[in-house]
């Protein structure tokens, strides 16, 4: 039983709904230097945002009584930031119907762009962008994360990846 | 524990290439995450396909201890940042070509790229210009207008060498990587010249490429590039390792196991020394998180 479940996962495709990529509203993101163990709603606008101010060395705020320093980090050129969430089972069916309705007008155009065979299967899952961003605020404890912070290094990855994966010339 | 699913719904922070946004206007579907074999580790890893533009993307995860996101009016623990970057599909095809080579004959591609574990590998066959790509790593024959391929190690090593050279020049022009290194050297040793030795670049690039090929091929490439053996250059402090090990007793008894463990940690360490902060996020620990991302207890799906 269990092995057949695993099998389903391997076969599973998680479809990213393309429509959500251009509809996504802008979101405000902060990357905190601490682990909040539980995910869920939080009154960020009530406690965090009003406490933010521009100090001599960048932005200042406090969280749980600790002083944080931060600065805006821009998403590297050529990239867009997205927040994505998996669709729940029930929601997925609704979403599917809905998206089909809303696309009706352009049906002909789509069919041309559509890949030749159906890619969706019954056991597949769906994910959609719920928000987008082009910058986020990076916070450090007491000081702004320096130039050798891991996050900053990670943001240079796409340019390096491009070189590794570019086609090489034939002899 | 009694939080509703809603509140716990996990949010994933992604960076995607901008052109996916524009392309998405014209598609209704065709962007899909699938699990495929990782050509380096052989384990399952998530990749993103764009079936409309016929591109393959790899997903890397930035993951560091003690981070969380505030996303609008919510908190998301973990502080993960996912990157989708274009990937050369040849690395994945190579995995199958090498496997098929054990049979030693020319085979059509649809018999080479088969996988019980990761059946989605057939999507690879839909990528454009495969024939052109395969020329870099295979010998081919054409019979009755059907192409048959056979893995060629010689060609592959040459192809990989080109990849290394290409990466070296990108490392040199990529200000951030190189300057971070020069800076550190200038600050701490006052000798920036020693930091941009050609060999260092080649070793670094070799390390990057090695994340996409099996160990065996990586070793062959290392020899071809005349890089010194990494294990020989590192002194081996056994006392320290024993202390680091969780079960020193077991390690003492089983030397093969101990050695293997040793080599593994050493290899990682030597990679890190290559001013590899930029790559720290490329480490495999990120892979686990993405597995959990998609492996979300896929309780049997009702109707099939």
Q: Which long-range contacts (CB under 8 A, 24 or more apart) does A117-121 make?
A: A119/A13, A119/A15, A119/B29, A119/B30, A119/B32, A119/B51, A120/A13, A120/A15, A120/B29, A121/A13
More confident of the two residues B153 and A96 = B153
Is the CB of B264 inside 8 Å of chain A's CB atoms? no
B23 within 8 A of B52, measured Cβ to Cβ: yes
Nearest residue, CB atoms, A153 vs list B8, B34, B281: B281
CA gap B210, A171 in Å, rounded: 23
Q: How far A166 CA sits from the closest chain B CA (Å)? A: 7
Query: Do A41 and B278 count as a contact with CB atoms less than 8 A apart?
Result: no
Q: What is the DSSP code string of A51-92?
A: G-EEETTEEEEEETTEEEEEEEEEPPTTEEEEEEEEPPHHHH
Contacting residues of A for B164, CB less than 8 Å apart: none
Residue-level pLDDT at A53:
95
Task: Tell me the pLDDT of chain B averaged across its residues.
Answer: 74
CA gap A111, B264 in Å, rounded: 50
Query: Do A86 and B296 count as a contact with CB atoms less than 8 A apart?
Result: yes
Report residue A44 as tokens.
């960020």
Q: How far A72 CA sits from the closest chain B CA (Å)? A: 14
Nearest residue, CB atoms, B282 vs list A14, A29, A157: A157
Query: Do B166 and A156 count as a contact with CB atoms less than 8 A apart?
Result: no
* Mean pLDDT of the B236-263 span: 36
Which residue ranges make up each domain of chain A? 25-34+43-87+129-165, 94-125
Query: Do B26 and A147 count as a contact with CB atoms less than 8 A apart?
Result: no
Residue-level pLDDT at B118:
93
| Banded pLDDT at B40 (limits 50, 70, 90) | very high
Contacting residues of A for B300, CB less than 8 Å apart: 5, 8
Report the b/e string of A141-165 with b at 16+ CB within 10 A. Answer: eeebbeeebbbbbbbbbbbbbebbb
**Structural domain A25-34+43-87+129-165, CATH architecture:** Beta Barrel (2.40)
Which domains does chain B carry? 1-87+241-276+285-304 (2.20.25.530), 152-224 (no CATH)
Query: Do B120 and A13 count as a contact with CB atoms less than 8 A apart?
Result: yes
Residue-level pLDDT at B29:
79
Contacting residues of B for A150, CB less than 8 Å apart: 62, 64, 277, 280-281
Residue-level pLDDT at B289:
38
Nearest residue, CB atoms, B278 vs list A37, A43, A156: A156
Inter-chain CB pairs, A–B, below 8 Å: 297
More confident of the two residues B271 and B203 = B203
In B, residues 102-121, which contact A (CB 8 Å cutoff)? Answer: 117-120
Range from A6-20, A59-73, B36-50, B260-274 carrying the lowest mean pLDDT: B260-274
Contacting residues of A for B115, CB less than 8 Å apart: none
| Banded pLDDT at B301 (limits 50, 70, 90) | very low
Range from A87-101, B200-214, B235-249, B267-281 carrying the lowest mean pLDDT: B235-249
Local confidence pLDDT in tens for the 171 residues of chain A: 444 455 566 778 999 999 999 889 999 999 999 999 999 999 999 999 999 999 998 999 999 999 999 999 999 999 999 999 998 765 544 434 344 333 434 434 444 444 445 678 878 889 999 999 999 999 999 999 998 899 998 998 998 899 899 999 877
Q: Which residue of A has its CA nearest to B176?
A: A156
**Pairing verdict, β A53-55 and A58-63:** antiparallel
pTM of the model: 0.76
Range from B94-103, B241-250, B262-271 carrying the lowest mean pLDDT: B241-250
ipTM above 0.90, yes or no: no
B57 within 8 A of B85, measured Cβ to Cβ: yes
Report the percent of chain B where pLDDT is more than 70. Answer: 65
Residue-level pLDDT at A7:
53
Query: Do A164 and B65 count as a contact with CB atoms less than 8 A apart?
Result: no
Is the CB of A99 inside 8 Å of chain B's CB atoms? yes
Is pLDDT of B193 > 50? no
Is pLDDT of B239 > 50? no
Query: Do B301 and A8 count as a contact with CB atoms less than 8 A apart?
Result: yes
């Amino acid at each position: 039983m269990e092995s057949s479940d695993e099998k389903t996962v391997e076969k599973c495709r998680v479809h990213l709904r393309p429509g959500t990529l251009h509809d996504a509203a802008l979101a405000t993101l902060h990357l905190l230097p601490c682990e909040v163990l539980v995910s869920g709603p939080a009154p960020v606008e009530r406690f965090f945002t009003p406490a933010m101010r521009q100090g001599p060395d960048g932005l200042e705020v406090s969280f749980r009584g600790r002083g944080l320093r931060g600065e805006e980090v821009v998403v590297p050129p050529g990239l867009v930031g997205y927040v994505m969430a998996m669709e729940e089972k029930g929601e997925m069916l609704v979403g599917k119907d809905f998206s089909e309705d809303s696309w009706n007008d352009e049906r002909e155009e789509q069919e041309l762009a559509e890949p030749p065979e159906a890619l969706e299967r019954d056991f597949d899952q769906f994910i959609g962008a719920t928000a987008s961003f082009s910058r986020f605020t990076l916070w450090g404890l007491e000081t702004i994360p320096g130039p050798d912070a891991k996050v900053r290094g990670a943001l240079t990855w796409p340019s390096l990846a491009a070189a590794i994966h570019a086609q090489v010339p034939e002899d | 524990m009694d939080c509703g699913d809603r509140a716990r719904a996990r949010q994933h922070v992604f960076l995607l290439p901008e052109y996916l946004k524009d392309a998405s206007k014209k598609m209704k579907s065709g962007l899909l995450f699938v699990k495929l074999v990782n050509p380096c580790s052989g384990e399952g890893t998530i990749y993103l396909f764009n079936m409309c533009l016929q591109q393959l993307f790899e997903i890397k995860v930035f993951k560091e201890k003690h981070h969380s996101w505030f996303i609008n009016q919510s908190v998301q623990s973990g502080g993960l940042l996912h990157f989708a970057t274009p990937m050369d599909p040849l690395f994945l095809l190579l995995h199958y070509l090498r496997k098929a080579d054990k049979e030693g004959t020319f085979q059509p591609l649809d018999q080479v790229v088969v996988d019980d574990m990761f059946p989605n590998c057939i999507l690879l066959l839909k990528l454009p210009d495969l024939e052109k790509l395969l020329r870099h790593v295979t010998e081919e024959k054409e019979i009755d207008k059907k192409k048959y391929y056979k893995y060629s190690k010689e060609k592959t090593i040459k192809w990989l060498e080109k990849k290394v050279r290409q990466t070296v020049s990108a490392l040199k022009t990529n200000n951030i990587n190189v300057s971070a290194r020069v800076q550190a050297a200038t600050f701490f040793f006052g000798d920036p010249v020693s930091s941009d030795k050609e060999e260092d670049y080649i070793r670094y690039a070799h390390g990057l490429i090695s994340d996409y090929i099996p160990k065996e091929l990586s070793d062959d490439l290392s020899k071809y590039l005349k890089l010194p053996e990494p294990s020989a250059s590192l002194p081996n402090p056994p006392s320290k390792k024993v202390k680091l090990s969780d079960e020193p007793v077991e390690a003492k008894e089983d030397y093969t196991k101990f050695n293997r463990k040793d080599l593994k940690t050493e290899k990682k360490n030597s990679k890190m020394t290559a001013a590899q902060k930029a790559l720290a996020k490329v480490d495999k620990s990120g892979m686990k998180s993405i597995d959990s991302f998609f492996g979300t207890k896929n309780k049997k799906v009702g109707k099939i």
